[in-house]
């Protein structure tokens, strides 16, 4: 296990700035999702989708850079497995948000249920909290902030489950067009998966806290 | 690699009882599933669902405790990666069983095909075998029991594949209502995924045997 | 990290031949897929499916053997985590190809869209490239070959995404039979997932290059 000392070592200048770029990019992806599901004009919505796509690729590049650094560096600020899990989970959140936006385009969805709008706002909120927590990894001086955010994320994930389940039950009760049901169900489920992955990030943060604080 | 010695070290008192609580809880989840698909009365069925939900959350707490112990303890009875894989796979089985029960509720399914009943019984049986194997991890005195169970689980998984495939082929041949088809297909697939994860547990057990026996 | 020296150690005679058998088997699985989607006669097509099934099980056995060797051997030609990730990703490619062929059988699909044929050919091409790269792991004398293949695989994966998205958008525009739409969508998505997993193999190869070259 790495000592706290390593936070002040020169190595740290490599990883922490990359984590911060990665989570900033994710916040922007989640903001782009909120804009997408709030936009009634299909052409303007397509612009938000293109932006999500660009950001998702930028996120892939950041993940890739971090994995390369992991391969090259023997000393890392946290356990290698935690860094790998952290970056993979952030990448997964981005992937599920992108998949949602892509499906909105592919399925030509033009109106968004209350639950889709609420889930999108919830994800964006969770990503902003995760950014605050990751900025705290810089020095781990205020670990209570990180611990509290982990609890908030955990509650958010339960709320998302509940929102998604209600929406799906409602869909199967009221939607008689099977193709429309498939579309809506898939969008709800990819949003819900994004919140699951936010919870994975919170779990890694908790593991980092225990080992390093 | 950890020596057998570690089994008799005080550390062992931490992990083995947690593994046993985890697998006991899983057996109860699987019994709850069998009750769910055998119950014709929707209100009584909902009671079994609530019980599955409670147990799934209890299982999440046990996994969480084990992961925290892994972060805190430098010495573990088995390789850390094996413990992580074991607990994750048990958690995945619970998740797929819970997803099945949840979908039965959300989709308001009231009658269960022969294959769904058989797959549920098979999963319950596999979970009971896994419990026997995990109890044997206590002292690894009788590794043949564990090895035999791994073979049984492997056969069970193949049987589940075959059952599920037959049921899905039959569904696509005979079901003309697309929404009904979606419901049944998803339930069959989450049951089949649960058996895949039982097989993952057996694979981890085999890896533990090789390293420690 | 392992030194290049280990390549010339006796240990190496264990893993490299297994990697080569594994990737050869995968190339044959992918060739079997191409034959499946090119065959108009259902009985002959079923023969190709049976062959895919046999090869997929052979691949499972090879993966299993490699995982057992990993458990037994303390010294490995590459980092254990890279070997695990490499073999798991090859296994995942095989699983998605097999799932595609299985669904073609279960859903009794008799005609294949241009995109399904193109995706299958693309996967087969990617698997052949991966074989060339894995043969180069023997001595790592010509790492540029591996690096170039990683780029090719990466482009192939993007091309597959684009092909799959176009096909799915087209499906939702033109297919009015929901059950037919479910069948086609699932086949396209399992093919696309296979190309994602090819990209995972390329990423592991890149990680091995960085650490060992």
Tokens describing residue B153 = 């689980």
Domain count, chain B: 1
Q: Do A10 and A142 touch, CB atoms closer than 8 A?
A: no
Place of tokens 């029960």: B101
ipTM: 0.88
**Average pLDDT score, chain A:** 93
Q: Which of C11, C71, A208 is nearest to B207 (CA)?
A: C71
Q: What residues have CB less than 8 Å from B150, skipping those under 6 apart?
A: B133, B202, B203, B205, B206
In our burial notation (b when 16+ CB lie closer than 10 A, e otherwise), range B35-58 reads: bbbebeeeeebeebbebbbebbeb
d(CA A63, CA A18): 9
Q: Tokens 């033109």 map to which residue?
A: C174
Closest residue by Cα to residue B209 from B78, B84, B113, B111: B78
C46 CB neighbour count, 10 Å cutoff: 15
Question: Which domain CATH number covers C146?
Answer: 1.20.58.220
Say if the Cβ atoms of A108 and C172 lie within 8 Å: yes
Q: What are the helix and strand counts (H, E) for chain B?
A: 6, 0
Q: How far is CA A167 from the centre of its chain?
A: 21
Percent of chain B predicted with pLDDT > 70: 94
Tokens of B186: 């998803």
Q: Which residues on C lie below 8 Å from A67 (Cβ)?
A: 203, 207
Cβ <8 Å between A178 and B182: yes
pLDDT 10s digits, B151-168: 999 999 999 999 999 999
Average pLDDT over residues A183-203: 97
Candidates A73, A177, A179, partner chain C, best to mutate (most C CBs within 10 A): A179
Q: How far is CA C35 from CA A182, C24, C48, C49, C55, in A?
A: 31, 17, 7, 9, 14
Mean pLDDT confidence for A27-37: 98
* pLDDT confidence tier of residue A139, bands split at 50, 70 and 90: confident
Q: What number is the average pLDDT over the span A166-180?
A: 97
Q: Are B183 and B103 in contact (CB under 8 A)?
A: yes
Nearest to C32 by CA among C55, C9, C12: C55
pLDDT average, residue stretch A203-212: 92
Residues of C whose CB is below 8 A from A107: 172
Distances (CA, A) of A90 to A122, A163, C109: 16, 22, 38
Range of the domain at C179: 4-212
DSSP for residue A111: -
CB B114 within 8 A of CB B208: no
Q: How many other C-beta atoms can be found within 10 angstroms of the C-beta atom of residue B4?
A: 11
Q: Is the pLDDT of residue C173 over 70?
A: yes
Model pLDDT, residue C59: 98
pLDDT single digits (tens) C118-171: 999 999 999 999 999 999 999 888 899 999 999 999 999 999 999 999 999 999
As a whole number of angstroms, the distance between CA A156 and CA A116 comes to 15
Residue of C nearest to A70 (CA): C207
What is the C-alpha separation between A103 and A73, in angstroms, rounded? Answer: 38
> pLDDT class for C2, splitting at 50, 70, 90?
very low
User: CB B178 to CB C179 under 8 A?
Assistant: yes
- Residue B2: the pLDDT is 47
User: Do residues C127 and C154 lie in contact, with contact meaning Cβ atoms separated by under 8 Å?
Assistant: no
Q: In this structure, how many other beta carbons lie within 10 angstroms of the beta carbon of residue C87?
A: 24
> Which residues of B sit within 8 Å Cβ distance of A?
67-68, 71-72, 74, 102, 105-108, 178-179, 182-183
Tell me the H-state helices in chain C: 12-38, 42-72, 80-106, 114-136, 143-174, 178-212
What's the rounded mean pLDDT across residues B97-126? Answer: 97
pLDDT of residue B3: 44
Question: Given B67, B72, B107, which is nearest A172 (Cβ)?
Answer: B107
């Amino acid at each position: 296990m790495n000592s706290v000392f390593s936070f002040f070592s020169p190595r740290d200048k490599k990883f922490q700035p990359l984590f911060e770029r990665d989570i900033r990019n994710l916040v922007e992806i989640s903001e782009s999702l909120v804009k997408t599901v709030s936009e009634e004009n299909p052409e303007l919505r397509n612009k938000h989708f293109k932006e999500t796509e660009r950001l998702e690729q930028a996120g892939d590049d950041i993940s890739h850079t971090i994995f390369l650094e992991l391969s090259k560096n023997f000393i890392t600020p946290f356990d290698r497995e935690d860094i790998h899990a952290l970056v993979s989970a952030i990448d997964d959140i981005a992937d599920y948000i992108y998949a949602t936006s892509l499906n909105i385009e592919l399925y030509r969805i033009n109106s968004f249920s209350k639950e889709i709008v609420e889930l999108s706002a919830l994800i964006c909120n969770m990503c902003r909290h995760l950014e605050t927590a990751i900025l705290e990894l810089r020095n781990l001086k205020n670990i209570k902030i990180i611990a509290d955010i982990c609890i908030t994320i955990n509650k958010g994930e339960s709320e998302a489950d509940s929102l998604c389940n209600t929406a799906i039950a409602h869909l199967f009760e009221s939607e008689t067009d099977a193709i429309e049901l498939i579309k809506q169900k898939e969008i709800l489920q990819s949003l819900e998966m994004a919140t699951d992955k936010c919870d994975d990030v919170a779990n890694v943060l908790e593991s980092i806290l225990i080992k390093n604080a």
